[in-house]
Amino acid sequence: MADKNAIVKLGLDIIRNQVNTEFASASREEQMEVLRKALVEANGGSTKLNYKSMRNNTALFEIIETILEMNDVQGFEGNDFFEQFVDYRNLALGDENSFYIEDNSLFTVNTTAEGVGATIRQRINKGKNESVPTTLHTIETYEELNRLLSGRISIVEFVEKIRRSFMHKRLNAIYDTFYAGISGLPAAFKKTGSYAEADLQDLIAHVEASTGGNAIIVGTKKGLAKVTTAVVSENSKERYNQSGFYGVFNGTPMMDIKQVHKVGTHEFAISDNDLWIVTSNDKPVKFVTEGDAIFEQGQATDNVDRTVDILAGERYGVAIVLNQLYGQYRIS
């Protein structure tokens, strides 16, 4: 069989739409055929899966498993929300499942009479370390792998479908965690009702006064489109035409969250009525992947028709840890 590392590199390059220079042909279609034949060879030369071939030929699963885990973060790349607000750890790469959260309290400044040596001693409050529990998430597929080996679908389609499925679930978990985590805010940091420019300005001022950071307005495109202002420059109008919202509100930048559906439904996961005022110097969402990707076979006796399921899985966890106050504006 061809070198496993070369096959994995070829698979990764194809999925990432790059040319693998180890192979003579620069044609993506021809390189996909090279990869398919290598996978068939790893399956004992057969384009069909059965319990015997799956039991005896583990190389096929090792190749696809490695390709999946090396595409672990692909899909988060270029996601502004993820890059801005998610602190990511991959324990398979040796990262520690521990996030140090700084204490955000201040010292009390005392008024002391001249000549008085005794003052109130104050302890420096330490931060704390938080870890994120992880759970296993899986996908079971049988027919798709048979179609891959027979050439009816490509490795790109196969791996991409698994990757997108996991990515969709991950984003749902991240958005849900972020959305729920900042709901219990003090009254001064929450506004509800018809849009009013002054209310949004107040929320921005509260967040910046509390954190000392620079605020950003975050929401879906539809939500951000509800932000209007009495004075609109020609540049703002152009940004609105290009992106669907003004992009800047009285000097405060705006960032849109890509809308997604809740898993298994056509219902939006993120409310178009909510805007969040956050700071750019904090990543409150903690996302951890643990261990390597899983790609393994079940038992023929598990199913009545004696087909064998293919299990793709990953272990991850997500949590929100706030040591700064955020603002929430629910526009009715």
| Torsion angle defined by CA atoms of residues 223, 214, 173 and 131, in that order, rounded to the nearest 10 degrees | -170
pTM for the full model? Answer: 0.69
Classify residue 217 by burial, with Cβ atoms within 10 Å: 0-12, 13-18, 19+. Answer: buried
Helix 59-70, helix 4-15: angle, nearest 10: 40
3 state DSSP class of 1: coil
Pairing of strands 327-331, 128-130: unpaired
- pLDDT of 304 higher than 70: no
- Enumerate residues 6+ apart whose C-beta is below 8 A from 15: 67, 71, 74, 155, 156, 159, 160
β-bridge mates for residue 141, sequence order: 310
Mean pLDDT for the stretch of residues 221-240: 84
Digit-coded pLDDT (tens) for 201-221: 999 999 999 888 899 999 999
pLDDT band per the 50, 70, 90 thresholds, residue 306: very low
Mean pLDDT for the stretch of residues 274-294: 83
Digit-coded pLDDT (tens) for 15-55: 777 766 666 566 777 887 888 888 888 777 777 766 566 56
Digit-coded pLDDT (tens) for 123-134: 555 666 778 888
Do 13 and 20 meet the contact criterion of CB atoms below 8 Å apart? yes
How far is the C-alpha of 19 from the C-alpha of 31, rounded, in Å? 9
Q: What is the DSSP string of 277-329?
A: EEETT---EEEEEEEEEEEEE--GGGSTT----EEEEEEEEEEE--SS--EEE
Do 281 and 216 meet the contact criterion of CB atoms below 8 Å apart? no
| Number of neighbouring beta carbons within 10 Å of residue 255 | 18
Higher pLDDT among residues 170 and 115, named by residue = 170
Q: What is the pLDDT of residue 197?
A: 94
- Enumerate residues 6+ apart whose C-beta is below 8 A from 66: 4, 8, 293
Percent of the chain with pLDDT over 90: 15
- Which of 174-183, 240-249, 291-300, 323-332 has the weakest average pLDDT? 291-300
Do 180 and 265 meet the contact criterion of CB atoms below 8 Å apart? no
Q: What is the pLDDT of residue 125?
A: 58
Mean pLDDT for the stretch of residues 237-257: 87
Do 189 and 328 meet the contact criterion of CB atoms below 8 Å apart? yes
| Number of neighbouring beta carbons within 10 Å of residue 164 | 12
Pairing of strands 99-101, 274-279: unpaired
pLDDT band per the 50, 70, 90 thresholds, residue 180: confident
The Cα angle at residue 73 between residues 67 and 76, in degrees rounded to 5 = 140
pLDDT band per the 50, 70, 90 thresholds, residue 191: very high
| Number of neighbouring beta carbons within 10 Å of residue 153 | 17
Classify residue 79 by burial, with Cβ atoms within 10 Å: 0-12, 13-18, 19+. Answer: middle
C-alpha distance from residue 84 to each of 87, 267, 275 (Å)? 9, 25, 16
- pLDDT of 273 higher than 80: yes
Q: Compute φ and ψ for 36, nearest 5 degrees.
A: -60, -45
Q: Which domains does the chain have, with CATH numbers?
A: 1-106+119-332 (3.90.1690)
